[in-house]
Amino acid sequence: MFRNIGGIIIIDFIDMENENHREIVFTALKEEMAKDKNKTNILKISELGLVEMTRQRTGKNVDRILCESCPYCEGAGTVKSKITVCYEIFRELEREGSGALSNTLCVLANPDIANMLLEDEKNTIETLERNLKKKITIKVDKSLHQENYEIIVM
């Protein structure tokens, strides 16, 4: 009867004004739901003609059937903030820069991250350059997702 439907269910019998008919429908619904292997709870038809019921969910919910996990957040529903990614870049620059023989490090980043590095975090980049004694260049790569970046020792 309610295959693959679970959670809160509202059934509309608003146009059914005869109280005897409502009682017959409610009894029939209750009898049918008693046969259901899933746990159900049914309330009497309200004055507005609505039946409220709950039914134990067993299979996949509608979201899982109709949707797939986000390739960016891997289904978490969130992505790292821009500032978090910037701090990850700073830590990796320190690791890469301390052992590199080259004088230049290049950061390839998403446009929003590159913008933050060049503007909001300009002082941090300059401090890293002084501490590492290396030039750090920031280049935009529009193909990169906000969480992804690449550091190239040049």
In the chain, where are the structural domains located? 7-66, 82-153
Burial class (CB in 10 A: 0-12, 13-18, 19+), 4: exposed
Q: Give the containing element (helix H, strand E) for 84.
A: helix 82-99
Task: Provide the whole-model pTM.
Answer: 0.57
Instruction: Give the pLDDT confidence score for residue 133 in this predicted structure.
Output: 93
* Tens-digit pLDDT profile for residues 8-41: 889 898 888 888 888 898 999 899 888 888 888 9
* Exposure b/e, 45-71, CB count within 10 A at least 16 = b: beeeeebebebeeeeeeeeeeeeeeee
- CATH fold group of domain 82-153: Hypothetical Protein Ychn; Chain: A, (3.40.1260)
Instruction: Give the pLDDT confidence score for residue 2 in this predicted structure.
Output: 59
Residues paired with 90 in a beta bridge: none
- Cα(85)–Cα(121) distance, rounded to whole angstroms? 12
